[in-house]
């Protein structure tokens, strides 16, 4: 092992907005003091309740992916485990997500995009 995963960093145009979006989706605390990072207009963090950290970094030229367009591919995605897909979809949309693909009835996941255009999946546990 070379090292441990410290955090996942997501490029976006508005770091604080995206951190607050994911705070609503998966919980946690935005911009907790942490000696590993300096918090400013170009960087925001989300410390989740289970100790994981997502970081959001301003990219002035950020171009959102267009799922599933290979000319504008996703660079990563998060799977978020949920008990009730329909309720989770509605709550994510209320926070600013858009639904990209609900699939056929009975499918166990829904593909959404966060406010910066990054795809993520709501997956029934």
H/E stretch holding 58 reads strand 53-58
What are the residue boundaries of the structural domains of the chain, listed by start? 8-58, 78-124
CATH code for residues 78-124: 3.10.180.10
CA distance 118 to 73: 10
CA distance 12 to 61: 9
Q: What is the pLDDT of residue 43?
A: 93
- pTM for the model: 0.81
pLDDT band at 36, cuts 50/70/90? confident
Query: Looking at the chain, how many residues does it have?
Result: 125
Provide the pLDDT confidence category of residue 2 given band limits of 50, 70 and 90: low
Identify the DSSP state of 14: -
Q: What is the CATH number of domain 8-58?
A: 3.10.180.10
């Amino acid at each position: 092992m070379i090292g441990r995963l410290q955090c996942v960093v997501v490029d976006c145009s508005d770091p604080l907005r995206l951190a607050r979006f994911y705070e609503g989706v998966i919980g946690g605390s935005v911009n907790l003091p942490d000696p590993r990072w300096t918090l400013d207009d170009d960087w925001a963090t989300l410390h989740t309740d289970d100790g994981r950290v997502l970081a959001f970094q301003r990219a002035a030229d950020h171009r959102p992916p267009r799922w599933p367009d290979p000319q504008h591919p996703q660079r990563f995605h998060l799977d978020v485990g949920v008990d009730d897909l329909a309720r989770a979809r509605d709550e994510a949309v209320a926070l600013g997500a858009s639904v990209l693909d609900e699939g056929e009835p009975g499918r166990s996941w829904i593909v959404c995009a966060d406010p910066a255009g990054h795809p993520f999946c709501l997956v029934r546990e």
